[in-house]
Amino acid sequence: MSIKHNDIVFSGVQPTGSLHLGNYLGAMKNFVDLQTKMTSIYCVVDLHAITVFKKPSELRDNILETTAGFLACGLDFKKSIIFNQSSVSGHSELAWILNCIARVGWMNRMTQFKEKAGSNKENASVGLYIYPNLMAADILLYKATHVPVGDDQKQHLELARDIAQKFNNDFNNSNFFPLPEPLIQKNISRVMSLRDGKKKMSKSDDSEYSRIGLDDSEDEIKKKIKKAKTDSLPIPGNLLDLKNRPEALNLLNIYSFLTNSKLENTLKLMEGKDFSKFKNELSDVIISTICPIGKKNK
Ligand code: TYM
């Protein structure tokens, strides 16, 4: 990636519960790497969190917990701007203007709204429906050029680009908003649930065993990886044989990313091993990455 002097990074994380391995590998590791390369702005997006009802006291605790998580992961307030979204009223103000730019048809295509609202769409908050416009406002308020996110936010980023483009066209100023570029980790864009390899690892999953929290202890990590769903086949030697084995693929992907090796090389190394042996090694590499973050967070 070539960096220009006026490049700006912006990203946000919702304060909706403890941060997990998916947040870290998919997004926050990138936040930390970028803060020494470009002007970087990272936001705890509390206005996004209230699109679903939250008890005020719980929200306050979660904002502090997420901010502490930012620092424990390695964000440094001397290198990045770190703040809470609702403390800057410009986010809501620009969001209103962008609500008048975005088209209803564009909103209707957002898959995350469909997933979150589920079958009870009529009862979802209007905020949840227009949430992607607030996300576009977060980014465009700072004229950010680069947005590190996990793969699940890609569609929202495309929408932010469409909104920026339409605004520039409508007001005849082709350079007013830059079109923000998503920065998505190549090798681990989406960390999947440990209970179901077809679902992403998420703060809102009912099962604690579906995710590794950034504040999990060594024992918890070992227990969760031991219980992680796999299948009865041994580890194959090539990518083709991993097809239709989403849980196996997810664990091997996490291992490869954390050991800085290509998935193909991990497969060569692990070929023929059963999952119980591999899981011990996986637990060790997760522990050596996550536990130092958890200790800083305490
Ligand atoms: P949020 O709070 O759900 O997640 C924060 C970041 O973590 C990434 N992520 C994952 N990456 C890989 N695998 C996973 N299982 C996984 N789960 C979460 C997300 O992609 C995200 O990058 N709408 C955003 C927050 C937001 C934002 C913004 C982001 C609000 N305004 C402006 C960028 C720019 C969200 O709900 O992320």
CATH number for the domain spanning 286: value is 1.10.240.10
CA–centroid distance, 224 to ligand 1, in Å, is 23
- Which pLDDT band, with edges at 50, 70 and 90, does 233 fall under? very high
Q: Is the pLDDT of residue 293 over 90?
A: yes
| pLDDT tens profile 91-130 | 999 999 999 999 999 999 999 999 999 888 999 999 999 9
pLDDT surpasses 80 at 179: yes
C-beta of residue 167 within 8 angstroms of C-beta of residue 98: yes
Distance CA 26, CA 247 (A): 17
Amino acid residing at 21: L
Regarding whether 266 and 131 lie in a shared domain, the answer is: no
Residues noted as catalytic: 116, 200, 203
Provide the domain limits for residue 67.
8-183
- pLDDT for res 2: 72
Same domain, 141 and 26: yes
Q: 244 in a domain, yes or no?
A: yes
Q: Residue 249's closest CA among 267, 265, 276?
A: 267
**Residue 76 and residue 82: Cα distance in Å, rounded?**
8
Question: Distance (Å, rounded) from C-alpha 83 to C-alpha 144?
Answer: 16
- What are the structure tokens assigned to 280, written together? 């011990």
pLDDT at 51: 97
Q: How far apart are CA 245 and CA 110, in angstroms?
A: 28
| 15 in any annotated domain | yes
Same domain? For 154 and 226 the reply is no
Contacts 24+ apart (CB under 8 A), 223-232: 224/194, 225/194, 225/251, 225/279, 225/282, 225/283, 225/286, 226/276, 226/279, 226/283, 227/194, 228/194, 228/195, 228/279, 229/194, 229/195, 229/196, 229/197, 230/275, 230/279
Summarised one tens digit per residue, pLDDT across range 41-72 is 999 999 999 999 999 999 999 999 999 999 99
Minimal CA–CA distance to 167: which of 154, 178, 183, 156? 178
- Ligand 1, residues at Cβ distance < 6 Å: 10-14, 22-23, 26-27, 45, 48, 135, 138-139, 147, 149-150, 152-153, 190-191, 200-201
The verdict on residue 46 lying in a domain is yes
**Residues 72 and 170 placed together within one structural domain of the fold:** yes
**∠ CA 121-205-22 to the nearest 5 degrees?**
110
Order of strands across the sheet with 8-13?
80-84, 39-44, 8-13, 146-148, 181-183
What is the percent of the chain where pLDDT is above 70?
100
Residue nearest atom 37 in ligand 1 by C-alpha distance = 13
Q: What is the mean pLDDT of residues 171-179?
A: 96
Prediction pTM value: 0.95
Q: Are residues 283 and 153 in the same domain?
A: no
Does 183 or 187 have the greater pLDDT score? 183
